[in-house]
Amino acid sequence: MDRRHFLKGAASLGLGASLLPYLKVLPASAATSETAVVVFGGTINSLDIHRSGTNRDSYQVAINCYDRLVTFGTKTLDDGSLSYDYDNVQPELAESWEISGDGTVMTFFLRKGATFWDGKPVTAHDVKWSFDRSVSLGGFPTVQMKAGRLESPEQFEVVDEHTFRITLPFSSKLALPDLATPIPVVINSEVARAHATEADPWATEYLHRNPAGSGAYKVARWDAGQQLVYERNEDWKGGALPGYQRVILREVPSQATRRALLERGSITAAHNIPNKDAKELASRPDIQVVSSPIENCIYCLCPNLDFEPFKDKRVRQAIAWAVPYERIFEQAAYGLGVPTWGGSKTVDDIAWPRRSPYSTNLDKARALLAETGYKDGFTVPLSFNLSHADWAEPAALLIQQSLAQIGIEVTIEKIPGANWRTIALVEKRLPLHLENFGGWLNTPDYYFYWAYIKGNLFNSSNYNNAEMAKLVDDTLDMAMDHPQYAPNVKRMIELAQEDVPRIPLWQPTLNVALTNGANGYQFWFHRQMDIRSLKPA
């Protein structure tokens, strides 16, 4: 039974009491091109991105319902698909901005006439309140703000109703892009304050359920664990009016069910479909599959340097030579993604992710291993996150089989989600594991910062190299056109390839399928569905 049919039925009912209330105001004939149904496998657990405990899937509410000061532009990739453009920062709530000569003062001029959903104009006070909130609440928003060198409320200043100023401790190339991430949203501070209490000064309880933004979509209905219904904000000033009047976001946990819905055309789009489905559905004329390589993200095999065999660089290199890259790419990634093996040993540019100098060569692997004390191999468990089983399990099995050929006996261990974060990332005590870190801000040094610096969350290999630490420290805030930038990044890449604390397997893709002629999907670094750009046939 497709939606079209159902809506016809609904129309013939004379729009009775049983229908969604907003259907009543619409001519039934326009409904299919006005309403989109998007399914995904996760769940929305909060409408407030700053709240502690808000999960990744919920970030899309911040994207679709709130505005930021700035956003990224759009670029068309080689395959014709659309992607955000990291190098092109565009206005959203801020009409324009100025950055002082030393790069430490950023002044934003707000769009006049932009209003929140309740009609209240967006002012610099709202921006200040919202930014204060994100650096004060702790947890993820505070960490992400810190990445852009935004750490305390003193840095945010209201110049006048429509002028907002940020003062940075030092110039950083990450500051402006960080304002375009989902975190620094602008909240209607009057509404929020009215619901704040002494115990809850930032109105987390209220905003958790009741978004108060100025964004392109309002939340018409939220049935936790089932669906979220977006309704277009006709007065949106942050960009071109979105294509769909209403978007129903349904949670469908079974991946087979999602595929069935897609093939039957019961929905408009399915977000984040498995590679296998993406590959097989790509040939169907009625389904458009967009597979975008995820920027700054690499699926890696990580030997942990705290464990004996892997303290020796040659053992890590031996493993890097023993990984069956081609087969993993074919059977775990179904050929979707960007290969990251078999590159040259010399680093000529700073492209990232890039091909590592390693490829499958068991003789080299054996020779390297023979130089160490592990000539006869050793036994090691290989762990992966249960939620990543779709790619990690086949990859792990293929790695297991290949390593057996150089004498390394691997046992496989699946670890459930909550456990994974603790063991792999916080305590960092998995000897050998598969990891999927990707950085939101698209510069190589940002990736190295999170994944190659001792103590940082995604350095689950416990890699510790003073030169790398110094390089990252010097480079992280450095402008990308600084003469020292490219040489520094090159050196980081050389170190990473020589020491291989993370063995790159491939750069993954984010797959989205559209049916019923829907188009305009755009890839974002945050990997959430930005429904604002979707358009009906």
Partner 1 sequence: MTSMTPGSTVASATAPTRPRSSYWSHLKYVMSENPVTGLAFGLFALIILAALFGPYLVPHDPLATGVGAALQPPSLAHWFGTDHLGRDVFSRVVVATRLDLLISVSAVAISFVVGSVIGSLAGYFGGWTDRITGRLVDTIMAFPLFVLAMGIVAAAGNTVENIVYATAIINLPFYARMARAEVSIRRNVGYVQAARLSGNSELRVLFGHIFPNIMPPMMVQISLNMGWAILNAAGLSFIGLGVQPPSPEWGIMVAEGANFIISGEWWLVIFPGLALMLAVFTFNLIGDGLRDLVDPQRRT
Partner 2 sequence: MSLALKARKVGLRLLEAIPTVIGILVVCFLLTRALPGDPAAYFAGPMADAESIEQVRRNLGLDQPLPVQFVNYVTDLLTGNLGMAISTGQPVVAELATRLPASLELTLGALLLSFLIAVPLGVMAATRPNTWVDHLCRFLVTAGVSLPTFFTGLALMYIFYYLLGWAPAPMGRIDMMYLPPETVTGFYTIDTLIAGDWETFRAAIAQMALPLITLALFTLAPIARMTRAAMLQTLGSEFVRTARAAGLNGRRVLVTYAFRNALLPVVTTLGMVFSFLLGANVLVEKVFAWPGIGSFAVEALVVSDYAAVQGFVLSMALLFVLLNLLIDVIYTLIDPRVGEES
Residue ranges binding partner 1 (CB under 8 A): 255-256, 259-260, 263, 276-277, 280, 327, 330-331, 386, 389, 393-394, 396-398, 400-401, 411-414, 416
Q: Which is nearest to 67 in space by CA: 165, 185, 178, 220?
A: 185
Q: How far, in Å, CA of 271 to CA of 156, rounded?
A: 36
Residue 252's binding partner among partner 1, partner 2, none (Cβ under 5 to 8 angstroms by kind) is partner 2
Residue 400's binding partner among partner 2, partner 1, none (Cβ under 5 to 8 angstroms by kind) is partner 1
- To the nearest whole angstrom, how small is the minimum distance from the Cβ of residue 383 to partner 1? 10
404 binds partner 2 (CB under 8 A): no
24 binds partner 2 (CB under 8 A): no
Query: Which 3 state secondary structure label does DSSP give 532?
Result: helix
- To the nearest whole angstrom, how small is the minimum distance from the Cβ of residue 449 to partner 1? 32
240 burial via Cβ count (<10 Å: 0-12, 13-18, 19+): exposed
Q: How far, in Å, CA of 128 to CA of 119, rounded?
A: 19
Query: Which 3 state secondary structure label does DSSP give 531?
Result: helix
User: Of the listed pieces 83-91, 264-272, 290-298, 497-505, which binds partner 2 according to CB under 8 A?
Assistant: 264-272
- To the nearest whole angstrom, how small is the minimum distance from the Cβ of residue 386 to partner 1? 5
- Residue number, 147 or 396, with CB nearest to partner 1: 396
Residue 413's binding partner among partner 2, partner 1, none (Cβ under 5 to 8 angstroms by kind) is partner 1
- Residue number, 123 or 515, with CB nearest to partner 2: 515
- Residue number, 248 or 278, with CB nearest to partner 1: 278
CB of 533 within 8 A of CB of 521? Answer: yes
381 binds partner 2 (CB under 8 A): no
Query: Which 3 state secondary structure label does DSSP give 333?
Result: coil
227 binds partner 2 (CB under 8 A): yes
How many CB atoms within 10 Å of residue 146? Answer: 14
Residue 480's binding partner among partner 2, partner 1, none (Cβ under 5 to 8 angstroms by kind) is none
Amino acid symbol at 137? L
- To the nearest whole angstrom, how small is the minimum distance from the Cβ of residue 389 to partner 2? 12
13 binds partner 2 (CB under 8 A): yes
The beta-strand segments (E) located in 92-174 are 94-99, 105-110, 156-160, 163-167
The DSSP result for 399-466, as a single string, is HHHHHHTTT-EEEEEEE-HHHHIIIIIIS---SEEEE--B-SS--HHHHHHHHHSTT-TT-TT----H
Q: Which is nearest to 520 in space by CA: 267, 243, 276?
A: 243
Residue 250's binding partner among partner 1, partner 2, none (Cβ under 5 to 8 angstroms by kind) is partner 2
In sequence order, the β-bridge partners of residue 76 are 82
- Residue number, 81 or 400, with CB nearest to partner 1: 400
Q: How far, in Å, CA of 475 to CA of 445, rounded?
A: 7
- To the nearest whole angstrom, how small is the minimum distance from the Cβ of residue 85 to partner 1? 34
Residue 401's binding partner among partner 1, partner 2, none (Cβ under 5 to 8 angstroms by kind) is partner 1
User: Of the listed pieces 95-103, 153-161, 259-267, 511-519, which binds partner 2 according to CB under 8 A?
Assistant: 259-267
